[in-house]
Amino acid sequence: MSHQLRYEVNCSILFTEIPLLERPAAVKAAGFDAVEFWWPFAEAVPSDKDVDAFVAAVEDAGVRLVGLNFFAGDMPAGDRGLVSWPARSAEFRDNIDVTIGIGERLGCTAFNALYGNRFDDTAAEAQDDLAAENLALAARAAARIGGTVLVEPVSGADRYPLLTAADAIAAIDRAGEANIGLLADLYHLAVNGDDVDEVIAAYATRIAHVQIADAPGRNEPGTGDLPLERQLAALEEAGYAGWVGLEYKPATTSPESFDWLPRERRPSCRVGSF
């Protein structure tokens, strides 16, 4: 096996002890050369000054941005995306060009569109129809730069309807654009009760991005009981050749949480034994 999968660091869940714009440099200092972010601003359409500062922080650190979320609302307050949210659909649409524009400036082509929670005042079917429209709009915008929109099953959000890989695939198929793929967060899938081995076997060709954390706890690999090494090997054997995002909460400090991965294997590093 070629072992070409590469790790990168999610700067929205790691290095939160330092200001956001300092995190790309901290990732570089830890030995990695690629990062991903949830939406790094408080609003759907930030100022040009704020966008420029974010772009500069990534460029100046000498890391590559390989994943970026669309604006997803107030995540700490429980929001999980605007894609299917009627009252805030316009915000999502306004955010599309900003997100894709940042991607174009930084060479990022993977954009995660969190689906959104269910609301009692809107029929689920109507939310799903809206989501299909919005995902298609985002996908057509991303296609202009060769990008892919990602749809992710999520755990820990009671009203978020995409719990399994099959749920996400159904949403992707409703949208009907070729450049929408599954974001397979192995932690979320496992916690939600999906059989991750079956997901890999069934959907390997639909998986466009992978993230990992161990369970229970959502901490770094080796702190729980998920067979992440075996699952990553299975993904690669099934043809996945993309990035593996480290999207975990460090059990200690962020730099110490990488101790499971030898430093020489961090730059565009290879997946093998932990």
CA distance 168 to 209: 13
Instruction: Report percent pLDDT > 90 for the chain.
Output: 95
Q: What is the pLDDT of residues 118-165, one digit of tens each?
A: 999 999 999 999 999 999 999 999 999 999 999 999 999 999 999 999
Looking at every residue in the chain, the average pLDDT score rounds to 96
pLDDT score, position 271: 53
Q: What is the pLDDT of residues 27-71, one digit of tens each?
A: 999 999 999 999 999 999 999 999 999 999 999 999 999 999 999
CA distance 245 to 171: 22
Omega before 40 within 30 of 0, i.e. cis? no
Which burial class, exposed, middle or buried, applies to 229 when counting CB atoms under 10 A from its CB (0-12, 13-18, 19+)? Answer: middle
Cβ proximity of 263 and 31 under 8 Å: yes
CA distance 233 to 179: 25
Pinpoint the alpha helices (H) of the chain.
23-29, 48-61, 89-106, 124-143, 165-175, 186-191, 196-203, 228-237
pLDDT score, position 69: 99
CA distances from 132 to 48, 75, 172, 244 (A): 29, 22, 8, 27
Confidence class for position 1, pLDDT limits 50, 70, 90: very low
- Inter-residue long-range contacts of 53-57, CB under 8 Å, 24+ positions, other chains counted: 53/21, 54/21, 54/102, 55/102, 55/105, 55/106, 57/20, 57/21, 57/22, 57/23, 57/24, 57/25
Three-state secondary structure call for residue 243: strand
pLDDT score, position 270: 54
Residues, the chain: 274
Cβ proximity of 68 and 112 under 8 Å: yes
Residues with active-site annotation: 152, 247
Which burial class, exposed, middle or buried, applies to 267 when counting CB atoms under 10 A from its CB (0-12, 13-18, 19+)? Answer: middle
| Closest CA relative to residue 138, chosen from 109, 159, 163, 162 | 109
pLDDT score, position 274: 53
Q: Which amino acid is at 212?
A: I
Q: What is the pLDDT of residues 180-199, one digit of tens each?
A: 999 999 999 999 999 999 99
